[in-house]
Amino acid sequence: MTKYGSFPGTRPRRLRTTPAMRNMVAETRLHPADFILPAFVREGVSEPVPIGSMPGVVQHTRDSLKKAAAEAVEAGVSGIMLFGVPEESKKDALGTPGTDPDGILQVALRDVRAEVGDDLLVMSDLCLDETTDHGHCGVLDDQGRVDNDATLERYAEMAQVQADAGAHVVGPSGMMDGQIGVIRDALDQIGREDVAILAYTVKYASAFYGPFREAVGSSLKGDRRTYQQDPANVRESLRELALDLAEGADMVMVKPAGPYLDILARVADVTDVPVAAYQISGEYSMIEAAAEKGWIDRDRAILESLTGIKRAGAQNILTYWATEVARKLR
């Protein structure tokens, strides 16, 4: 007791005294089912290829991808988002491997569905950037600009091919105007009303994508600022949200996650569909690099970053640590 009698009468520290107490009163909890594992599969390799800028992450072979999917199921992860990396010689201006039934992404979708069935949500990245020789997310016009409406035609075909290959969920990530409506119509036309759309509703033109470009063998020259969003803006994210919902999005996503927690919170506050956030390659690599230097506690930093994303409003989190963290939580 101080000379001021019983002051302070209210002591919040009483609820922080022991691990058991802190656990009991925790307002935000992570669960294995919160997580979706992004995974890369590369055509024409016999062993997994380490990604130098993403320690611990690889470009999978078909066999190692199936193993990773099975491990995700065992850990209790909800989904796996697949990115295909075709052989460089197969890329072209239209991104033909993206609609070829025998393209690496479609082959991988069939492999993973055969391995895990419905025990894991099998999701597919629906975008052209991995398959075009120019590295952009769409078809270019004669002036080298991304042609929105010509790209939508390619997305519609991609959606149908990915659904036929076994995708439970397609994830359109190219940020073309009208993409959700066109993809929904394309899926419904072939009787695939059961395939859900996870809309990349908020996708900023971020500097944190750098390591991802290595992961997918990107051929990009220039940038994507004419179609990805300006990091300075908030209202256009809410406008994109309204449009995607009107066009039939089943779930929406904010990407990146960590630098845009304010946007994530705004989106979660105003929508009644599930909200996901993508903890992208740069977010992953910064923590891994700092931990390798001994500058931060790796495990604590991972959990803290994921807790912050969920606290801001994400129901699901795409993270390269999905299986690792899910195992620890279980």
Catalytic sites, residue numbers: 203, 255
80 pLDDT band, cuts 50/70/90, is very high
59 pLDDT band, cuts 50/70/90, is very high
Q: Is 278 helix (H, G, I), strand (E, B) or coil?
A: strand
Residue 217, by phi and psi: left (phi above 0), alpha (psi -120 to 50) or beta?
Answer: left
Residue 117: which of 69, 75, 62, 157 has the closest Cα? 69
Query: 240: annotated binding-site residue?
Result: yes
Query: 4: annotated binding-site residue?
Result: no
Query: 206: annotated binding-site residue?
Result: no
Q: Which helix (H) or strand (E) holds 327?
A: helix 322-329
CA dist 166 and 124 (Å) reads 9
CA dist 60 and 216 (Å) reads 11
1 pLDDT more than 60:
no
Query: 227: annotated binding-site residue?
Result: no
What would the mean pLDDT of 189-217 be, rounded to a whole number?
91
pLDDT digits (tens, 9 = 90+) for 233-283: 999 999 999 999 999 999 999 999 999 999 999 999 999 999 999 999 999
Q: Is 38 helix (H, G, I), strand (E, B) or coil?
A: strand
One-letter amino acid at 100 equals D
Domain map of the chain by residue range? Answer: 28-329
List the beta bridge partners of residue 2.
5
In this prediction, residue 224 carries a pLDDT of 82
CATH code, 28-329:
3.20.20.70
Who's near 107: CB < 8 A, 6+ residues apart?
Answer: 62, 165
pLDDT digits (tens, 9 = 90+) for 272-314: 999 999 999 999 999 999 999 999 999 999 999 999 999 999 9
118 pLDDT band, cuts 50/70/90, is very high
4 pLDDT band, cuts 50/70/90, is low
Query: 22: annotated binding-site residue?
Result: no
What would the mean pLDDT of 1-7 be, rounded to a whole number?
65
